[in-house]
Amino acid sequence: MIHSLFLVSTAGHIFLEKHWKSVISRSVCDYLFEAQGKASAPENVPPVIATPHHYLISVYRDRIFFVAVIQTEVPPLFVIEFLHRVAETFQDYFGECSEASIKDNVVIVYELLEEMLDNGFPLATEANILKEMIKPPTILRSVVNTITGGSSNVGGTLPTGQLSNIPWRRTGVKYTNNEAYFDVVEEIDAILDKSGTVVFAEIQGVIDACVKLSGMPDLTLSFVNPRLLDDVSFHPCVRFKRWEAERVLSFIPPDGNFRLMSYHVNAQNLVAIPVYVKQNVSFFETGSSGRLDITVGPKQTMGKTIEDVVITVHMPKVVLNANLTTNQGTSTYDPVTKVLVWDIGKLNQQKVPNLKGSLSLQSGAPRPDENPTLNIDLRIQQLAISGLKVNRLNMFGEKYKPFKGVKYVTKAGKFQVRT
């Protein structure tokens, strides 16, 4: 199982190590550094690295390498999933997952890691249960701690959820305001070619829930059009049999925030592309210059407004500067990172945003071989682009009447236009 964990900054500084079995020397990370030296960017460091006596399995998140060391045959996905869980737990506990926040809370980090893994076997990885055992640092608590001389941040009771058949929920939950909110969030992943034709498009959807309900509520969530969902992954709380038979989500929820389900729509006809993009990015054979002209407009929006539109272009290295004008939003070109960002904002029907102008290239350099790709960000409130709609939420098992709400939002995921 997982033998040791090292946290390494992009600069190559090992700032935390934890061993669940015998101690493994830090020098094992040299193999990671070697791989990092070969990779063009930290993102490109391969996640599985073989060394003479160990395997390093790593994930790169928030500018930190989470490096697990294993010595025997262990499923790599198991390790990777666990490492992501560690990162998420830090994020959840400290508000951000960074070298600074981890160093500031190093004792809690150690307590957490000790609780998450025993002898390399996962022990408690659900946020709910961890928080029952180790209280997150809060400003209020640290104030109280300093005034009163401090109370413990370790719970003294057995994490009840760990043993029941519903390990994700603790017992004895009580709220004065009982509420259940669901966010249907859809991201469009798409590749459009030069002419704007869709090469590939799919929707990654999730339903995130924030459920604060007393006692042991048993919820049923139904959809107007469940037939859209043929490729789904559920939180362990969802009863799979009922989904298969009736296409409803029946579950006893964890307490607080959790991801109820994620789904995947990749039938091409179901994926509407909300914007059109016309572009022309070209570099001239002579004169060390180029031209850029991009126009964006709304297409299939189901009557909603498209907001927060941002177009990002990673330019070839030889592009020194950009002299561009636009009729909407702002554009900036960073000559160091070679990234052009055009922040457009809202798209409206009357005015079609356009960005155009010239690009200046390093003189004497050959014309760049590669074509830059446009990356598009956008957001549409109150719309799930797949058309998914929640029908109703029923609660059984408890007597009170909860507040209920559903929100929809569509965003661009990996939305790319080739030039």
Smallest distance from the beta carbon of 28 to another protein, in angstroms?
A: 13
Smallest distance from the beta carbon of 402 to another protein, in angstroms?
A: 24
Among the listed residues 11, 147, 157, 364, the single contact to another protein using CB under 8 A: 157
Question: Both tokens of residue 226?
Answer: 């469940």
- Choose one: 154-162, 176-184, 384-392, 403-411; the region binding another protein (CB under 8 A): 154-162
Range 301-330, binding another protein (CB under 8 A): 314, 316
259 touches another protein by CB under 8 A: yes
12 touches another protein by CB under 8 A: no
- Choose one: 100-108, 277-285, 340-348, 388-396; the region binding another protein (CB under 8 A): 100-108
150 touches another protein by CB under 8 A: yes
Among the listed residues 11, 13, 37, 77, the single contact to another protein using CB under 8 A: 77
Smallest distance from the beta carbon of 391 to another protein, in angstroms?
A: 21
Range 356-385, binding another protein (CB under 8 A): 369-371, 373, 375
264 touches another protein by CB under 8 A: yes
- Phi, psi (5° rounding) for residue 337? -85, -10
Q: Report the chain's C-alpha Rg in angstroms.
A: 25
Q: Please tell me the distance from the alpha carbon of residue 206 to that of residue 409, in angstroms, as a whole number.
A: 10
Among the listed residues 9, 71, 91, 98, the single contact to another protein using CB under 8 A: 71
236 touches another protein by CB under 8 A: yes
| Cβ atoms of 372 and 313 closer than 8 Å | yes
Q: Please tell me the distance from the alpha carbon of residue 89 to that of residue 51, in angstroms, as a whole number.
A: 29
Q: Please tell me the distance from the alpha carbon of residue 80 to that of residue 59, in angstroms, as a whole number.
A: 7
Among the listed residues 137, 167, 253, 254, the single contact to another protein using CB under 8 A: 167
Q: Please tell me the distance from the alpha carbon of residue 97 to that of residue 19, in angstroms, as a whole number.
A: 21
Q: Give the angle subtended at the CA of 357 by the CAs of 351 and 361, to the nearest 5°.
A: 150
Smallest distance from the beta carbon of 149 to another protein, in angstroms?
A: 5
Among the listed residues 9, 17, 24, 31, the single contact to another protein using CB under 8 A: 17
Size of the site for another protein (CB under 8 A): 93
- Phi, psi (5° rounding) for residue 418? -85, 150
Nearer to another protein, 53 or 399 (CB): 53
62 touches another protein by CB under 8 A: no
Among the listed residues 72, 195, 269, 349, the single contact to another protein using CB under 8 A: 72
Smallest distance from the beta carbon of 168 to another protein, in angstroms?
A: 9
Secondary structure class of 125 (helix, strand, coil): coil
Among the listed residues 11, 13, 27, 149, the single contact to another protein using CB under 8 A: 149
81 touches another protein by CB under 8 A: yes
Partner residues linked to 6 by β-bridges: 17, 67
Name which of 200, 176, 173, 174 is nearest 189 in CA terms: 200
Whole-number Cα distances in Å, 365 to 40, 55, 159, 372: 22, 43, 65, 17
Q: Please tell me the distance from the alpha carbon of residue 84 to that of residue 87, in angstroms, as a whole number.
A: 5
158 touches another protein by CB under 8 A: yes
Site string for another protein, 26-45 (x = CB under 8 A): -------------xx--xx-
162 touches another protein by CB under 8 A: yes
Name which of 311, 316, 362, 366 is nearest 337 in CA terms: 316
Secondary structure class of 295 (helix, strand, coil): strand
| Cβ atoms of 45 and 56 closer than 8 Å | no
Range 385-414, binding another protein (CB under 8 A): 414
Question: Both tokens of residue 350?
Answer: 């009357």
Q: Please tell me the distance from the alpha carbon of residue 311 to that of residue 196, in angstroms, as a whole number.
A: 15
Smallest distance from the beta carbon of 410 to another protein, in angstroms?
A: 16
